[in-house]
A and B are shown apart, each in its own frame.
Chain A
């Protein structure tokens, strides 16, 4: 059976004014449906570039990303937008909520850009509220992002990522600036989403706590996936210590 996400021969070359950076140097990778994948690797190894390419954010120079049978980089802007809207839920490292909207409206925002199907406002509101209560954020429904802590903002971002019921939850260092306790809470939420709703989870993180929870750990180095790693924790530690 084919993998849910099939990455083949993926390359990304950034050309700055006079130098070129080979961020991805030919990556082949399969990700199974409902998997929990954590990408690790030293800084600049291409993790962000890779997951951005999977999420439809960064166009690769070469190679294909086939998700659920669709070669996403062959889609037109509208279709690709719809793919981002319906199939992917993003949680970004730094806070990424619209400062002009309150928590509830930030969560329902992706629904606005849905192109087909009518919006059932009450159902949508109920869904947002139930997500918030899952994330223990019910008391902050009408707060604005500037009134929230980093961990709370992260939870709102997770709720927003889930509102369109996407197949894939994609997070680039979702616990970057959080303390260990809050990080643990966020990891538990992701795990819960993975087991409860069978979503595919793709996370970039340096943190050992994430590696512990992952089904698969992908170690990256210099724009390539290291296949020779037996113990990713060991490998990561090695990278951190030597690198």
Chain B
């Protein structure tokens, strides 16, 4: 039998003695673990949303109040789609220049390019500008929104696009080579009209072969038929015009907001909007909430740990007699101390592990309750942290009183009662 066994036997024989300590540590560890899991998962999810949509800048023709008067049945504006208003293609180079300048200036102002020598040249990839031309016409006799796009650029900018059925041109070359008479169809429209991949549709008298059906994205895209932009310009007699330009910022933390301001300021007739703001605000709000919760939980745990110290000190004093006996039969101070440290190491380890599991359970519940659609990710380092926290609390709680108690005079301990 070793000292360790002596410690463990004591734990096994008196399981209820340490219930308070275990409970407190389990709750503390579980709270921190669940909070950490939910917040990292939510943050990652939100960041993914940002990286998918948020870094996109959209340039639309400006709708002045006067032109709003002009709105006829042909001029219709939804939040996403503008009809009857166009951007001339010849100003696109100017937009691109203005955008590049603003991004570079923003980077430099933030110190991104100059103040981080370790990174070296930050390679800002040339942004891809995807044009769109919206038009309304009839499809096999029914009204439909036809959107002219550059398939290659569109796919690049809206890289979250996926096919529900049909054959996605898997490589960029194939997309680039998409024929003049090839089309893709939005998920909802496909269902409503019973048009699938491989079908041929006639738009305004021109036949198009449907290459694939897009998966629904809960946007206006679901209701559209996509054809090559040149074909659309011919069809709607809008050669040299586009309805909308999207650009995906290709550098990390691109100052898209700066570019947006710059474009709105310098180029007349257009309005630029960035989707970063929505997700960004969500992100910041969530971080605020998380920090607040963390503060509350930490304060609670601090108070809890203080009371654990009292509980442990109390239960240790109840074992004074045992300490005296152990010393009398030849245990040195150090050996007695080791008995308690082993005991509390085991307690802390167990509590930390249980707290970790409870924390995962709580995270699942909390995530369902928050309903932000975050996919839970459990990092393995959380387990180590949970165990470390459990052991730290438990061992710290016993260390000081044990150090004091092992110094007690042996004969003095015989005046105290045995713990029952």
Contacts and interface: CB of A to CB of B under 8 A. Distances in A.
A78 B334 contact: yes
A98 B330 contact: no
Interface in A87-128: 90, 92, 94-96, 98-101, 105, 108-114
Given A57-B411, A58-B410, A100-B10, A113 B331 contact: yes
A77 B409 CA distance: 12
A216 interface: no
Contacts of A108: 1
The interface centre, meaning the residue of B322, B334, B411 with most chain A CB atoms within 10 A of its CB, is B411
A57 B414 CA distance: 11
Given A52-B411, A105-B1, A108-B1, A98 B322 contact: yes
The interface centre, meaning the residue of A83, A94, A113 with most chain B CB atoms within 10 A of its CB, is A113
Nearest to A101: B9
A145 B2 CA distance: 20
Contacts of B13: 99-101
A73 to B, nearest CB: 13
Given A81-B335, A98-B322, A101-B9, A110 B329 contact: yes
B414 A109 contact: no
Contacts of B104: none
A34 interface: no
B7 to A, nearest CB: 10
Interface in B320-336: 322, 325-335
Contact of A58 (B1, B10, B330, B411): B411
A84 interface: yes
Nearest to A160: B329
A129 interface: no
Contacts of B2: 112
Contacts of B327: 81, 84
B418 interface: yes
Contacts of B420: 99
B329 A77 contact: no
B330 A113 contact: yes
Contacts of B326: 109, 113
Contacts of A109: 1, 6, 326, 329
B66 interface: no
Nearest to B3: A112
B334 A90 contact: no
A90 B410 CA distance: 12
A77 B332 contact: yes
B330 A85 contact: yes
A48 interface: yes
B193 interface: no
B234 interface: no
Interface in B365-420: 409-411, 414, 418-420
Main secondary structure of the interface of B (DSSP, over half): helix
B22 to A, nearest CB: 18
Interface residues of A, number: 34
B16 interface: no
Contacts of A90: 328-329
Contacts of A55: 328
A47 interface: no
B329 A84 contact: yes
A84 B324 CA distance: 12
B14 interface: yes
Contacts of B14: 100
B250 to A, nearest CB: 67
Contacts of A95: 418
B325 A96 contact: yes
Nearest to A97: B325
B335 to A, nearest CB: 6
Contact of B332 (A49, A81, A99, A111): A81
A218 interface: no
Given A57-B410, A109-B329, A113-B330, A99 B1 contact: no
A137 interface: no
Nearest to B413: A57
Interface string A55-82: 1011100000000000000000110011
A178 B25 CA distance: 46
Nearest to B420: A99
Contacts of A48: 411
Contact of A112 (B6, B322, B325, B409): B6
A77 B418 contact: no
Interface string A140-177: 00000000000000000000100010000000000000
A161 to B, nearest CB: 8
B409 A86 contact: no
Nearest to B335: A113
7 contacts: A48-B411, A58-B409, A77-B333, A78-B334, A82-B330, A90-B329, A112-B3
Interface of B: 1-3, 6, 9-10, 13-14, 322, 325-335, 409-411, 414, 418-420
Interface of A: 48-49, 52, 55, 57-59, 77-78, 81-86, 90, 92, 94-96, 98-101, 105, 108-114, 160, 164
Given A92-B414, A96-B325, 6 more contacts: A57-B409, A82-B332, A94-B414, A100-B14, A108-B1, A164-B330
